[in-house]
Amino acid sequence: MKVALITIGNELLSGFTVNTNAAWIGIELGRVGIEISVQHTIQDEKKDIIFELEQVSKKVSIVIVTGGLGPTHDDVTASAFYSYFNDTPIFDEDYWKDLTDQFSKINYKIPDVNQNQAMKPKKGDCIPNDFGSARGLLYKINNCLYFALPGVPKEMKAMMKKSVIPILKDQVTNPFITRTIRTTGIPESALAEKITNTIDMRTYNCSLAYLPKLLGVDLRISSQDEQQIQKFEKKIKPVIEKYVYGYEDEALEEVVGNTLKKCRVTLATAESCTGGLLGHRITQVSGSSEYYLGGVVSYNEDAKINLLDVTQETLTKFGAVSEETVKEMALGVRKLFSSDLGISISGIAGPTGGTEEKPVGLVYIGLSSVKDLIVKKFNFFRDRDSNKQISTQVALNMLRLYLRDE
Amino acid sequence: MKVALITIGNELLSGFTVNTNAAWIGIELGRVGIEISVQHTIQDEKKDIIFELEQVSKKVSIVIVTGGLGPTHDDVTASAFYSYFNDTPIFDEDYWKDLTDQFSKINYKIPDVNQNQAMKPKKGDCIPNDFGSARGLLYKINNCLYFALPGVPKEMKAMMKKSVIPILKDQVTNPFITRTIRTTGIPESALAEKITNTIDMRTYNCSLAYLPKLLGVDLRISSQDEQQIQKFEKKIKPVIEKYVYGYEDEALEEVVGNTLKKCRVTLATAESCTGGLLGHRITQVSGSSEYYLGGVVSYNEDAKINLLDVTQETLTKFGAVSEETVKEMALGVRKLFSSDLGISISGIAGPTGGTEEKPVGLVYIGLSSVKDLIVKKFNFFRDRDSNKQISTQVALNMLRLYLRDE
């Protein structure tokens, strides 16, 4: 089954928006065994969209179009679909009433320009949008399926999951099955070495891909035979177990959160260079208030002294980015929140502020419990955002390993 | 001058690699006034590459191809170029000697597989690569330019800057200029209504695009005539001024940060439902320690009472998500950090935890200074991440407007 993905938008061609939608759709279709064979990005021009529909429908049986369904004059996808399929849309009074109600709830009078979003096709169907006013379109013509979805990632993703993928899944006869194993704390090459030393790929009817990202390496095993995947996983598991934190799209903060909840252990955070990112990640998990009590962003010295009981002496003698300070921060925040665990981060995020002795990327992470006080030192990257991201990942992984070994 | 960009690689179609090359090339060409009119991503297949070259050369005068120039069997771009242009490449002894020397310098014997990288075209030219072994290709046929570059971002970028862009720049007679105006706090349709009520687009020789994102709408004006852009901007500015926070790729946290720094005003944050995201965003700006003193993530009631001086009475009577609590949080955090401004957020991020009276998406944001105490109430979305993101955006925008009106 061949899929063509057409992403529409001048902002994609100009580079103002990176085409993360295309990557996301590629991954999600891959999960159900469907591959994209061609992906085109074109301008918001009706004639270009019609030209593309003509071209790709010669080569594929499924066409997914994203973008250009908004209310303004440069949103021409729906109009291109109506022309291409010789359809005459009609005004959907019920949907217009819904839209008007939604706008009035947020105290806005609905602009007239939104009226085009209340049109519905005669020959095709509408795809509901739970997060926005732009409904999608679906036409089935000559055994070919044509979908139009909005370009706003949140809306597109929800509609793909709820409406598009279930339809496509039904059409796949011999699907590829994939299994994603998520690791952190080991570089791609070291992970590859461990695996190739353990297993002879040729004896398994499945393929393995390494997907390295800033925060870890995902392993993707795929095959048409589920048993082969299970056997393969069972074989490599023992040598990589320490680094495996989850499967499929589980996030590390979710895995750690589940363990904290299950063990009824509470947590507080003391952040300096990460500025609140660790707390943000922990609270991305619904229900995190059951184990996360809160935190302090001690961005300046006074906050470290007044809130976290770091001593002036420690700061003067060793500095804010030091093993000693991070120890006191972890102890201090655990005391302040009366939590079971306290975790602390202090480092030099960069790009400025480094010295020869304490370069950009130097980060200390501390973990305090009733019986333990652990501090680890790291040398990460040269850029601010990467340093903040990786610091929180390592902190969460320290928590995961600590809870596992308890 | 029309450009087609063809990016080659199964990893792009599967979504394992996000196509940041396409965005980067779009931005860089945009800087010299060149627009990409179409961008295609295709598989590493020789016949597909030849098909694409045939197709796009009917529509454009410049074709840039990236990817597939490596030494392995799935690198077929050079071979596709030779076939398409009926060229018979010859072995470049000098370059092969260079490559062999380079490998021996890092104590590697050069693999035979690299020999194909030492081929050079007869009808075309090679583009030097300072960071890798894969040289690029350039063919000039019938007033059309065809470039092939490697897909490795570092190599592609260096070659674009050094070789490709200088050639293209010479060909541009009337470049397009763009201006991006960034707004927040107003939906796309309402913004469009304000603009279309003010201005007759037809009287300006420029085009306007709306780029809506979760946190705001960017407006992009483009034209070949810079004066037209300036006139257009001057005309619409008065009606949208309140919503404009910046230009080009400025972030709201950067704009707010610059104002705080300039006015020598310090800030502390008290976050409940956003869990630290506001602090994270503020500290994404290098140098934020000059005005950001720190914050408290008061995720549970005790933290609100003990650290922020919210009274038990307020919490019992009005609840944690209320105007009264958020007021006390803003006051409390300003006092705790002795900062000039205190900002506080409390809400129901969802997806659970909502009631009829206090639904998911209900968020209060407070701002305290020596002379003011402002609280605003919002009804945002149904999903956790969007609620956290938009809450921090609105908080930053409240700060921006407060500092502007001071």
Task: Compute the distance between CA of residue A119 and CA of residue A296 in angstroms, rounded to an integer.
Answer: 51
**The pair of three-digit structure tokens given for residue A74, joined into one six-digit string:** 């440069």
CA-based nearest distance B194→chain A, Å: 10
Predicted pLDDT of residue B102: 82
* Chain A residues whose beta carbon lies within 8 Å of the beta carbon of residue B31: none
- Which residue in A207, A274, A280 has the most chain B C-beta atoms within 10 A of its own C-beta, making it the best mutation to test that interface? A280
Q: HEC string of chain B? A: CEEEEEEECHHHHCCCCCCHHHHHHHHHHHHCCCEEEEEEEECCCHHHHHHHHHHHCCCCCEEEEECCCCCCCCCCHHHHHHHHCCCCCEECHHHHHHHHHHHHHCCCCCCHHHHHHHEECCCCEEECCCCCCCCEEEEEECCEEEEEECCCHHHHHHHHHHHHHHHHHCCCCCCCEEEEEEECCCCHHHHHHHHHHHCCHHHCCCEEEEEEECCEEEEEEEECCHHHHHHHHHHHHHHHHHHEEEECCCCHHHHHHHHHHHHCCCEEEEECCCCCHHHHHHCCCCCHHHCEEEEEECCCHHHHHHHHCCCHHHHHHHCCCCHHHHHHHHHHHHHHHCCCEEEEEEECCCCCCCCCCCCCCEEEEEEECCCCEEEEEEECCCCHHHHHHHHHHHHHHHHHHHHHHC
Could you tell me which chain A residue has the CA closest to the CA of B386? A154
Query: Touching check for B90 and chain A: CB below 8 Å?
Result: no
CA-based nearest distance A366→chain B, Å: 18
Task: Compute the distance between CA of residue B59 and CA of residue B39 in angstroms, rounded to an integer.
Answer: 12
* Chain B residues whose beta carbon lies within 8 Å of the beta carbon of residue A391: none
Task: Compute the distance between CA of residue A67 and CA of residue A376 in angstroms, rounded to an integer.
Answer: 46
Query: Touching check for B166 and chain A: CB below 8 Å?
Result: no
Residue B9's region, left for phi above 0, alpha for psi from -120 to 50, else beta, is left
In chain A, what is the greatest distance between 2 CA atoms, to the nearest angstrom?
79
**The pair of three-digit structure tokens given for residue B276, joined into one six-digit string:** 């630290």
C-alpha separations of B116 from B69, B76, B85, B91, B324 in Å: 9, 10, 18, 8, 72
Between chains, do A27 and B15 touch, taking CB under 8 Å as contact? yes
Query: Touching check for B334 and chain A: CB below 8 Å?
Result: no
| Residue B36 CA from chain centroid, whole number | 18
* Chain B residues whose beta carbon lies within 8 Å of the beta carbon of residue A30: 14-15
Could you tell me which chain A residue has the CA closest to the CA of B32? A14
User: What DSSP character marks residue A110?
Assistant: P
Residues facing B183 on adjacent strands:
B217, B244
- Which residue in A299, A304, A310, A335 has the most chain B C-beta atoms within 10 A of its own C-beta, making it the best mutation to test that interface? A299
Task: Compute the distance between CA of residue A43 and CA of residue A40 in angstroms, rounded to an integer.
Answer: 10
Quickly list H helices, A85-121.
Answer: 93-105
Query: Touching check for B352 and chain A: CB below 8 Å?
Result: yes
Predicted pLDDT of residue B313: 97
> Least CB-CB distance to B284: which of A23, A307, A385?
A385
Contact B64, B35 (CB under 8 A): no
**Chains A–B, number of C-beta pairs less than 8 Å apart:** 277
Residue A404: how many other CB atoms lie within 10 Å = 11
Residue B312: how many other CB atoms lie within 10 Å = 10
Between chains, do A300 and B277 touch, taking CB under 8 Å as contact? no
Residues facing A270 on adjacent strands:
A296, A344
Could you tell me which chain A residue has the CA closest to the CA of B12? A23
Query: Touching check for B269 and chain A: CB below 8 Å?
Result: yes
Predicted pLDDT of residue A105: 78
Quickly list H helices, A144-213.
Answer: 153-159, 165-169, 188-198
* Chain B residues whose beta carbon lies within 8 Å of the beta carbon of residue A19: 18-19, 22-23
| Phi, psi at A264, each rounded to 5° | 50, 50
Contacts of residue A82, defined as CB under 8 A and 6 or more positions apart, other chains included, come to A88, A89, A121
> Least CB-CB distance to A286: which of B27, B210, B351?
B351
Contacts of residue B325, defined as CB under 8 A and 6 or more positions apart, other chains included, come to B304, B310, B314, B315, B318, B319, B346, B364
Task: Compute the distance between CA of residue A332 and CA of residue A342 in angstroms, rounded to an integer.
Answer: 8
Predicted pLDDT of residue A403: 96
How large is the C-alpha radius of gyration of chain A?
26
Between chains, do B279 and A296 touch, taking CB under 8 Å as contact? no
Residue among B284, B335, B288, B291 nearest B309 (CA): B335
Task: Compute the distance between CA of residue A292 and CA of residue A257 in angstroms, rounded to an integer.
Answer: 9
CA-based nearest distance B87→chain A, Å: 27
pTM of the predicted structure, to 2 decimals: 0.83
Domains and CATH numbers, chain B: 2-169 (3.40.980.10), 177-247 (3.30.70.2860), 252-405 (3.90.950.20)
Could you tell me which chain A residue has the CA closest to the CA of B44? A37
Residue range A74-116, pLDDT digits in tens:
789 999 999 999 999 999 999 999 988 888 877 778 888 888 8
Contact B325, B304 (CB under 8 A): yes
Query: Touching check for A32 and chain B: CB below 8 Å?
Result: no
pLDDT per residue rounded down to tens, chain B (406 residues) = 889 999 998 889 989 889 999 999 998 998 788 889 999 999 989 999 999 999 999 999 999 999 998 877 668 999 999 999 999 999 999 999 998 888 887 777 787 778 888 999 999 999 999 888 899 999 999 889 999 999 988 899 999 999 999 999 888 887 778 899 999 999 999 999 999 999 998 899 998 988 888 899 999 898 989 999 999 999 999 999 999 999 988 999 999 999 999 999 999 999 999 999 999 999 999 999 999 999 999 999 999 999 999 999 999 999 999 999 999 999 999 999 999 999 999 999 999 999 999 999 999 999 999 999 999 999 998 889 999 999 999 999 999 999 998 7
Averages of pLDDT over runs of 10 residues in chain A (406 residues) are 93 91 94 91 95 93 94 87 96 92 80 86 95 93 94 94 94 83 90 89 86 86 91 95 95 98 98 98 97 97 96 97 98 98 97 92 97 96 90 98 91
Query: Touching check for A279 and chain B: CB below 8 Å?
Result: yes
- Which residue in B37, B44, B52, B297 has the most chain A C-beta atoms within 10 A of its own C-beta, making it the best mutation to test that interface? B297
Between chains, do B284 and A302 touch, taking CB under 8 Å as contact? no
Contacts of residue A253, defined as CB under 8 A and 6 or more positions apart, other chains included, come to A281, A282, A284, A285, A396
Cβ within 8 Å of A, B 48-87: 48, 55
C-alpha separations of A21 from A213, A403, B12, B24 in Å: 18, 36, 12, 16
